[in-house]
Chains A and B, each alone.
Chain A
């Protein structure tokens, strides 16, 4: 079983739509959670960390559900520039290892 699983998509949405991605993780000892954005096989870049209380950054909201072992990313008012692949990342601090999901592709259409 993969440590981190994501729906690969693609999610095709019109501009202005709200879209949500979920990511599940298998190890309950996971302590740190992140969403990264990756454009067209370029390097991943941090979008936001995910905190237990949930956090928001402009149009982006991330939430963590430890009981069900999933994290989510909500994008409101989608822009064309949001088109990318979104990677879910979890960290096992005892082992200093990071596990990436295979990514969810988002296409925002005019």
Chain B
């Protein structure tokens, strides 16, 4: 089944404790992206990647890191989480970005205390 998976789905952590949210797609898509969704603000793009070893900042990259060592995986890293990073996070992929449909993972709910 073609899909985007994220882990964990739910996470409660404390300020400053490094964490990684994994994202994997099995559709051989070149484009992958991370978003956060907050009430009243909609989805905002954090980082995106056009292909392996090619990543770029979205609109809200501060406090986040990503890597794209393999085509199928695009982990999101919070080196030192803070309460303002409490949010719902979505990973998405598409064949080549741009004009094409994005397929979203199920989301990761993160609470930073």
Contact = CB atoms under 8 A, between A and B. Distances in A.
Contact of B107 (A31, A43, A91, A96): A43
A4 B45 CA distance: 13
A24 B41 CA distance: 15
Contact of A96 (B40, B41, B43, B56): B56
B102 to A, nearest CB: 7
Contacts, number: 55
- Interface size band for A: 20 to 34
B27 interface: no
A45 B50 CA distance: 21
- Interface size band for B: 20 to 34
Nearest to B6: A43
Contacts of A99: 45, 59
Interface stretch (B18-26, B62-70, B71-79, B93-101): B93-101
Interface of A: 4, 8, 31-32, 34, 41-46, 49, 87, 91, 93, 96-103
Interface of B: 31, 33, 35, 37, 40-45, 48, 50, 56, 58-59, 88, 90, 97-99, 101-102, 104-107
